[in-house]
């Protein structure tokens, strides 16, 4: 059932939409009238059966789903992943794997959606913007523009989308293959193409059905659903700066944490 | 209407109500109707050598001495902008970073080209409570609309962040008031006033303008990857 737009536009005119040339045009207001309101801050919901983010594995590679993702890797990629696990497991206690969340301050897409960051939605007719509190931003363009022919690889890739009713269907390419999909170091190829279907279940819950197609690394598409709940105890998103209070340095391709006090934290 | 049709209509209504409830409400649309459309990418005009093109802040005697010393040392030091990958507020408003502005009833968001975000909440909420505030790169901003002008009130900035390459700084207590409006289709104007009694002899006021840029794809790259990685839309 579609709401009639005309009365809304009339309302807009009544409230002064045409009084000033810079206010939102009736056409833009009509476009807004067809869009859902997801304004607010959201965070990861409680993981349920079949969801990706399960209990972290014990050991050095903490905080990540690792094999819980059940990535449908091709044999060569599986072997590369296994070799990486062995390499990281053999690291001394003073070193940790070169996780891009630390080395280049980038979780990137889709890993950011698998983690604990909160995010804010802004939906306009031209674009849906998702701002994550670790200062990573997704721009999902819904103005009809295509992907660039050779997008520069970036942490969030290049996203375009369209609305199917109140479901935002997004397509993302151009992801940086050097970033990690999981804390255990799983990666995607430069040819990864990710489709999402964002929808609201109720006023306090939103979900994202993610399908990763990667003809280079995967034998078949990987589909999973993430669920998020509304943050109700604050309205203001406080942004973090990963480059502040930097206590890590690179050593031989791995991360070494710098302790200001030698007795602090280090087991050596 | 027959009873069957009536019950069908009722069932249809019940099935669609939750979905309808998620659409922008008439109240939100009425608010949007009063707001300007700043959609686009904006970039500062004029010199970016100093935040105020007219010169340094009106420092008091003690801070003038402090600034002279910092300015002399600045060429040998790493600019905080580079060190922390953040220009912060207010420096962002005079920086060469381009930004995308999104205006909604609850908030105006400015997203800059190197992952810096200004959240300006216009939902009537007050500043974050003092015991939950600490000095932050982008401060804590609230705003309100009067006609086509957004008045922004920012507190809790990180005073030690350089305002420009000459190492001008403020205190954490600086209070920044901005009046932003579109002067024509291709220009935004920001009248900035910095009140910082511990460092300045008087309110420091200046104006920056921003020109509408090409409709580019914003990319989410940290500054360590280099400035200007946006790619042109091909069509």
Same domain, A5 and A135: no
pLDDT at A112: 87
Q: Tell me, yes or no, whether B42 lies in a domain.
A: yes
User: Do residues A120 and A40 touch, judged by C-beta distance below 8 A?
Assistant: yes
Structure tokens at A176: 């940086």
Mean pLDDT of the region A153-169: 96
Local confidence band at B215 (pLDDT 50, 70, 90 cut-offs) = confident
pLDDT of res. A245: 63
A16 and A46 fall within a common domain:
no
Please report whether residue A263 resides in a domain: no
* Domain membership flag for residue A243: no
| Predicted-assembly ipTM surpassing the 0.90 threshold | no
A2 and A53 inside one domain: no
Range of the domain at B133: 32-213
Tell me the mean pLDDT in the region A165-179.
96
A30 & A59 share domain: no
Cα A193 to its chain centre, rounded Å, is 14
Contact B107 A122 (CB under 8 A): yes
| Residues A11 and A47 reside in one and the same domain | no
Give the relative orientation of helices B26-33 and A26-33 as an angle to the nearest 10 degrees: 160
On whether both A44 and A20 belong to a single domain, the answer is: no
Is the pLDDT reported for residue A10 higher than 60?
A: no
pLDDT at position B82 is 83
CB–CB of A67/A184 below 8 Å? yes
Q: Which residues pair with B157 in a beta bridge?
A: B136
Q: Does residue A18 carry a pLDDT above 50?
A: no
**Residue A9 tokens, joined:** 């536009």
- Per-residue pLDDT, averaged over A184-195, amounts to 93
User: Measured between beta carbons, which residues in chain A are less than 8 angstroms from residue B115?
Assistant: 135-137
Tell whether A104 is covered by a domain: yes
Mean pLDDT of B44-63: 94
A29·B224 Cβ contact <8 A: no
Q: Do A15 and B137 touch (CB under 8 A)?
A: no
| Nearest residue to B141 via CA among B151, B155, B129 | B155
CA distance B100 to A91: 43
Binding-face residues of A in 121-150 toward B, CB within 8 A: 122, 124, 126-127, 129, 131, 135-139, 141, 145-146, 148-149
Contacts of A236 (CB under 8 A, 6+ apart): B119, B121, B125, B128, B140
Nearest Cα residue to A226 out of A243, A247, A212: A212
Closest Cα in chain B to A205: B22
State whether the Cα torsion A237-A233-B152-B55 is positive or negative: negative
Of the pLDDT bands very low, low, confident and very high (cuts 50, 70, 90), residue A160 is very high
Q: pLDDT, tens digit, for every residue of A211-268?
A: 999 999 999 998 888 889 999 888 899 998 877 766 677 788 888 877 655 444 433 3
pLDDT at A67 over 70: no
Residue A2: what pLDDT? 44
A121 pLDDT above the threshold of 80: yes
Indicate if the pLDDT at residue B17 is higher than 80.
no
Answer yes or no: do A112 and A21 share one domain: no
Q: In chain A, how many domains are there? A: 2
User: Helices in B140-235 by DSSP H: which ranges?
Assistant: none
For residue B6, give how far its alpha carbon lies from the nearest alpha carbon of chain A (Å).
16
User: Residue A21: what pLDDT?
Assistant: 60
Q: Residue A238 domain-assigned?
A: no
pLDDT the model gives residue A242: 79
Strands (E), chain B: 41-44, 99-103, 107-112, 117-121, 140-146, 149-155, 175-184, 187-195, 204-212, 216-217, 231-232
| Class of residue A232 by CB neighbours under 10 A (exposed 0-12, middle 13-18, buried 19+) | exposed
Interface test with B, best of A37, A147, A200 (most B CBs within 10 A): A37
Whether residue A201 is predicted with pLDDT greater than 70 in this model: the reply is yes
CB B210 within 8 A of CB B44: yes
Q: Name the residue in chain A with its Cα closest to that of B123.
A: A235
Across all residues in chain A, what is the average pLDDT?
81
**Does residue A266 sit within a domain?**
no
A15 and A110: one domain?
Answer: no
What is the CATH classification number for the domain harbouring B169? 2.40.128.20
Query: What global pTM score does this model have?
Result: 0.86
My answer on whether A10 and A133 are in the same domain is no
Give a yes or no: residue B154 inside a domain. yes
Domain count, chain B: 1
Residue A191 has pLDDT above 60, yes or no: yes
pLDDT of residue A248: 75
CA distances from A167 to A170, A206, B82 (A): 10, 10, 40
Q: Output the pLDDT for position A66.
A: 42
User: How do B41-44 and A254-257 pair as beta strands?
Assistant: unpaired
What is the residue range of A23's domain?
1-34
Give the CA angle between residues B219, B223, B227 to the nearest 5°. Answer: 70
Residue A240: inside a domain, yes or no? Answer: no
Of B185, B222, B234, the CB nearest to A105: B222
Residue A261 in any domain: the answer is no
One domain, residues A24 and A61: no
Q: Which residues contact A137 (CB under 8 A, 6 or more apart)?
A: A129, A130, A131, A156, B111, B115, B117, B218, B220
């Amino acid at each position: 059932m579609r709401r009639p737009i005309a009365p809304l536009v009339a309302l807009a005119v009544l409230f002064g939409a045409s009084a000033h040339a810079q206010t939102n045009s009736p056409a833009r207001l009509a476009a807004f009238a067809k869009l859902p309101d997801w304004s607010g801050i959201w965070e990861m919901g409680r993981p349920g059966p079949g969801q990706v983010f399960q209990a972290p594995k014990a050991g050095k590679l903490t905080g990540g789903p690792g094999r819980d993702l059940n990535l449908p890797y091709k044999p060569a990629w599986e072997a590369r992943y296994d070799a990486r696990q062995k390499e990281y497991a053999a690291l001394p206690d003073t070193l940790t794997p070169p996780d891009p969340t630390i080395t280049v301050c980038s979780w990137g897409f889709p890993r950011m959606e698998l983690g604990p960051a909160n995010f804010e939605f802004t939906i306009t007719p031209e674009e849906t913007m998702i701002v994550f509190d670790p200062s990573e931003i997704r721009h999902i363009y819904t103005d009809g523009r295509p992907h660039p022919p050779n997008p520069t690889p970036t942490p969030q890739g290049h996203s375009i989308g369209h609305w199917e009713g109140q479901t935002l269907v997004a397509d993302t390419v151009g992801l940086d293959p050097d970033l990690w999909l999981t804390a255990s170091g799983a990666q995607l190829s430069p040819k990864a193409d990710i489709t999402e279907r964002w929808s609201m279940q109720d006023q306090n819950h939103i979900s994202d059905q993610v399908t990763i197609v990667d003809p280079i690394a995967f034998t078949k598409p990987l589909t999973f659903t993430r669920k998020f709940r509304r943050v109700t105890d604050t309205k203001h998103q406080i942004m973090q700066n990963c480059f502040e209070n930097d206590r890590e340095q690179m050593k031989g391709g791995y991360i070494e944490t710098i302790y200001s006090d030698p007795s602090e934290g280090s087991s050596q | 209407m027959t009873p069957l049709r009536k019950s069908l209509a009722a069932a249809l209504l019940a099935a669609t109500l939750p979905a309808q409830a998620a659409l922008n409400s008439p109240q939100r649309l009425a608010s949007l109707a009063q707001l300007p459309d700043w959609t686009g990418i904006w970039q500062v005009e004029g010199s970016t050598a100093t935040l105020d093109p007219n010169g340094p802040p009106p420092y008091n005697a003690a801070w003038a001495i402090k600034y002279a010393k910092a300015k002399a040392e600045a060429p040998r030091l790493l600019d905080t902008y580079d060190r922390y990958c953040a220009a912060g507020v207010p420096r962002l408003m005079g920086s060469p970073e381009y930004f995308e502005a999104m205006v909604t009833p609850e908030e105006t968001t400015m997203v800059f080209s190197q992952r810096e975000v200004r959240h300006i909440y216009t939902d009537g909420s007050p500043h974050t409570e003092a015991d939950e505030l600490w000095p932050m790169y982008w401060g804590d901003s609230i705003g309100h609309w009067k006609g086509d002008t957004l008045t922004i009130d920012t507190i809790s900035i990180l005073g030690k962040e350089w305002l420009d390459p000459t190492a001008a700084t403020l205190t954490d207590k600086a209070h920044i008031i901005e009046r932003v409006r579109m002067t024509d289709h291709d220009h935004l104007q920001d009248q900035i006033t910095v009140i910082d009694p511990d460092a300045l002899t008087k309110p420091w006021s200046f104006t920056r303008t921003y020109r509408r840029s090409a409709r580019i794809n914003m990319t989410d790259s940290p500054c360590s990857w280099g400035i200007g990685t946006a790619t042109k839309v091909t069509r």
